[in-house]
Every structure is written in C-alpha cells, then in structure tokens.
Amino acid sequence: MKLVGLAVLLVASLCYAQDSGDFRPATTNVPDAQYPRVDSAGRAEFRFKAPDATAVKLNLWSGPKLDMAKGADGFWTVTTPPLVPGLHYYTIVVDGAEVSDPSSHTFYGGGKDASGIEIPEAGSTYYLPEDVPHGQVREIWYHSDVTGTWRHALVYTPPGYDEQTRMRYPVLYLQHGAGEDETGWTRQGHVNFILDNLIAAGKAKPMIIVMANGNARRAGATPPAPGARFGSPEMMKAMHEMMMAFEDDETKVLIPYIDAHFRTISDREHRAMAGLSMGGMQTFQVTFDHLELFAYIGGFSGAAMAFGGQPFDTKTALNGELADPAAFAKKVHLLWIGVGTDEPAMMHTGIENLHNALTEAHVQHVFYESPGTSHEWQTWRRDLKEFAPLLFQ
C-alpha cells in the first residue's frame, strides 16, 4: 500500500460489503451538477461530455489512470473502487489533453486550477461547518520589497476577534505544498472549520492563522527556463533561491505587517509555524534560521531534509540547534512531525527516519501517523487537528 498508484484505492472487503450504491453528488461539485457522485462505500462515478473524442481517461493524482467508457449520448463514464476519504485532485485526459472536469470546482494544485473530489469520512465532522461560532478568513494584500510585488495572503481570525477588541492573539504561520498556493489551506484544507470546531470544544486556544504564498521570487530574479527538468542543477538553484526569498519575505515583511495590522501577541512564545510537504521544508528552514521568532514548529509530510531517507545527524543538522536536546527543549516548546501511513515510501521513510534520529538523540518531539492516508489533504487536515491543540499552552 505504499505505492502512490495504490494508495488511494482502499479495496477493503469491509467496504464492498456496504454495497449500497447510494450515489449522491459530491460536495465539491459546481452547483446542481449531478456528477461526479459518491456512494457510502466511497466509490466515485465520473461523467464527462466529449462526443467526438476517441479516448478519455480519469486521472486521480494519487491513484491510477482509469479508462472511461463512451455512451451513446456522448458522455464518458467510469466508477472507481472505494477511495480513501478526503479531497483528491484529479484531471480528465481527453485525446491527450489533460484538463479539469467542468462538473467539479477547481483547487489550485499541481501548478494549475485542477479538479477536486471530496470523499466523506464516515463519522468525521471536525473539518466541516458545524453549529459553532465561526471565524473569518481575510484576504490581505501587502507590498513586499523582497519580491517587488503586491502579495496576496489569507488570514484566519478566530470567532469573536471583532468583538473582543482588547484581546490579542498568538499566531500560526501555515504553509501549503509545492504546486499549491495560499488558498490551499482554506479551500482544500478547511483550516477555518477545523479551528472553529477545536476552539468551540475548548481544545485549541483562539489564534490567528496566516497563510502566505510560498512561491516567492526575489525582485529582478529570472525564472528557470520553461521546461527545465525537475532535479536539474538549474531547478535546484531556482528552488533554493525561492526558499531564501520566501524566508526573507516572511521574516522581514509579512510578520511585521501582520503584527502591525492584527492584534497579535508579537513575541516568539506566541508565534508558531507549520507547513505541509514543501511548506514543511520551508517551515524547518525559516524557523531554525530564526528561533528568535518562533517557539512552535510543525512539519506535515515534510520536514528538514527528511525526504528520501538520507541520514539525519542531530549534532550538525538544522544549524546544530538540536545538538543540546535539553537546551533545545527549553527554547522550542513543540517540535511536531506527521506523515500518512500510506504515503509514498520516499516521504514516509524520510519522516520516519527523522523521527527515529530525534528519538535516539533524545530530542523532545511529537510524531503522528495518519492511518490509511497518503500524501493528500486528509493527512494534513488530521495533522492540523492534532497539532493546533498543542500550541500556546
């Protein structure tokens, strides 16, 4: 189950036993679209109009490509085996063109506005709108001298923020993954509903959450040439430059902007950072370069040099900050890493190795495994649900 191609397919006989075929339109559909639809076993039925096409495939990004079959009405259809709960990115491949499904809403992922389908998780409401006080998600625009551009960020303010005008709040900086942007944690992740529910239950402190665009480019820098190969020296250099530009933008521009425009508690004891995948890598880079700014650190399916299972030397890695575990534990109140049990081996082994190295070196940390989920948003929703209650306590 560690292969990406299989991870999304939970072909459990238990699920097949509930063979109700009670299909209903997915919650991610555009209004009144009848397809795609999902049954209580998690199977999804897709339907796509392409009367003149010769081959149409469904591409579930965390699963296999499935051939769709053409009906006499010009619609192509396919029904999947039961899928793991959560939001799955997907595209339709029609005669070689990879496109979004007009029946589903789009979500920015993989560097484009791609389709998403939500498979409900039976009994789970922690990421859904419940009858509790709701916070707001605010779009802000700030000018960055680092990038030389107006940058768009989203800011969750907890319920009561506008009413309790003397109250100040701690802040979590929360980052998306590669190919995604600042909208991911709200639209795909449901960050607001997760926090609304945790706060209402008394499980998490009311906090501000800032979601920035992690794809930063320094003013005047040229992008890598179109078509540059992933992993090529040019791309590695571009990635490094992006990481450094983001670090400068966050620490020199965004944090001062947020502290000036929101009622924050602006010391390091009340500032956290976390991120998923690439955002987890960014979190470890930014926080360990700036422990004067952060006291809580989270890596969701991504953390310092944790991909691929390279050896992790707690004596030298991360600016040597872990070399003295007792001193580190005094400074950083939470070092949290998480991964889905069904993530691709490179991710899972990498995070597990990091966990093992930290354990052996007696570095205080929390390790969480999301059961049955892959390198997808359900893992990161669960990560946030587990991580947020440990902040600012």
Where do contacts with a copy of itself occur on this chain (CB under 8 A)? 30-32, 34, 48-56, 74, 92, 94-100, 102-106, 108, 111-113, 129, 131, 134, 136-143, 150, 162, 165, 181, 186, 192, 215, 223, 226, 261-263
- Of the pair 132, 346, the CB lying nearest a copy of itself is at 132
Residue 355 CB, shortest distance to a copy of itself, in Å, is: 33
- Of the pair 104, 285, the CB lying nearest a copy of itself is at 104
- Of the pair 30, 327, the CB lying nearest a copy of itself is at 30
Find, among 369, 350, 340, 367, the residue nearest to 312 by Cα. Answer: 350
Alpha carbon distance 298, 73 (integer Å):
50
- Of the pair 71, 129, the CB lying nearest a copy of itself is at 129
Joined together, the tokens standing for residue 296 give 């809580």
- Of the pair 61, 336, the CB lying nearest a copy of itself is at 61
Residue 147 CB, shortest distance to a copy of itself, in Å, is: 12
- Of the pair 32, 315, the CB lying nearest a copy of itself is at 32
Find, among 296, 334, 298, the residue nearest to 170 by Cα. Answer: 296
- Of the pair 130, 267, the CB lying nearest a copy of itself is at 130
Residue 224 CB, shortest distance to a copy of itself, in Å, is: 9
Find, among 181, 116, 186, 194, the residue nearest to 152 by Cα. Answer: 181
Alpha carbon distance 218, 248 (integer Å):
9
Residue 358 CB, shortest distance to a copy of itself, in Å, is: 35
CB neighbours of residue 69 within 10 Å: 11
Residue 34 CB, shortest distance to a copy of itself, in Å, is: 6
- Of the pair 113, 234, the CB lying nearest a copy of itself is at 113
Give 198-205 contacts, CB < 8 A, sequence gap 24+.
Answer: 198/126, 198/385, 198/388, 198/389, 199/132, 199/133, 199/135, 199/158, 199/159, 200/130, 200/132, 200/133, 200/159, 203/388, 203/389, 204/388, 204/389, 204/391, 205/170, 205/391, 205/392, 205/393
Residue 52 CB, shortest distance to a copy of itself, in Å, is: 4
Residue 266 CB, shortest distance to a copy of itself, in Å, is: 15
Provide the β-strand partners of residue 60: 90
Looking only at the bridges linking them, the beta strands covering 271-276 and 296-300 are parallel
Residue 362 CB, shortest distance to a copy of itself, in Å, is: 42
Find, among 99, 98, 107, 88, the residue nearest to 43 by Cα. Answer: 88
Residue where the block lists tokens 């003397």: 166
Alpha carbon distance 255, 253 (integer Å):
6
Residue 53 CB, shortest distance to a copy of itself, in Å, is: 4
Answer whether 177's CB lies under 8 Å from 277's CB. Answer: yes
- Of the pair 137, 265, the CB lying nearest a copy of itself is at 137
Joined together, the tokens standing for residue 245 give 């530009």
Alpha carbon distance 61, 42 (integer Å):
16
